[in-house]
Amino acid sequence: MNLLHTPTQPAWLTQALSHLDLILLDHAQCEKKAAGTAMRYLFQYPNHQILVEALTTLAREELQHFQMVNRHLDRRGVVWKTLKPAPYGNYLKQAIRTQEPDRLLDSMLISCLIEARSHERLELLAKHCPDQELQDFYAFLGIAEERHKHLYLDLAYEYYAAAQVEQRLHELSQKESDILQTLYPEPRVHS
């Protein structure tokens, strides 16, 4: 199932492949943020049992991904530095409506779309990256991020009517593609 409105443009792959270490540094941040996002739901929706169960597992898994990316950084001798994030995340956050129950629906769909885009891009890197160990790693992670995309979508269907989920997903997916139409000049996973 493809949830993305528009596929990644070839310019992103060219940019990423010529700055693999920067992509890896940004990727470490993304995995840490993914764990933090999953944790945030646990604090905000402690009574949503199904959500808490699923996202507790997810938070652990994303932290493991963070650790794995760090080990690749270490293997490649990349010195840690904090990168300014691309506007992607903040732009998507702005689309989240502030009142419940809309807020949770939008949050889960945005999380789902971010996982879907990560899945798509990690698969591209798995196919084209010149570092064999990274290729294998990206292929492994791509499968995980695809599963995470479904996890957030299934949660949305758990708590909201199907028609409501589908309509909002369509709107947000268009937005998600819009921001990626202009390539961010700095190489990022979501540039």
Residues in contact with Fe ion by CB under 5 A are: 31, 34, 62, 65, 115, 145, 148
User: By C-beta, is 14 or 57 nearer to Fe ion?
Assistant: 57
Closest distance between Fe ion and the C-beta of residue 163, in Å? 27
User: By C-beta, is 31 or 120 nearer to Fe ion?
Assistant: 31
What single DSSP character describes residue 87?
T
| 75: CB partners within 8 A, 6+ apart | 133
User: By C-beta, is 97 or 147 nearer to Fe ion?
Assistant: 147
Q: Which two tokens stand for residue 175?
A: 């937005």
Closest distance between Fe ion and the C-beta of residue 99, in Å? 27
Closest distance between Fe ion and the C-beta of residue 24, in Å? 13
| 22: CB partners within 8 A, 6+ apart | 83, 186, 187, 188
The one-letter amino acid code at 66 reads F
**CA 127 distance to own-chain centroid:** 19
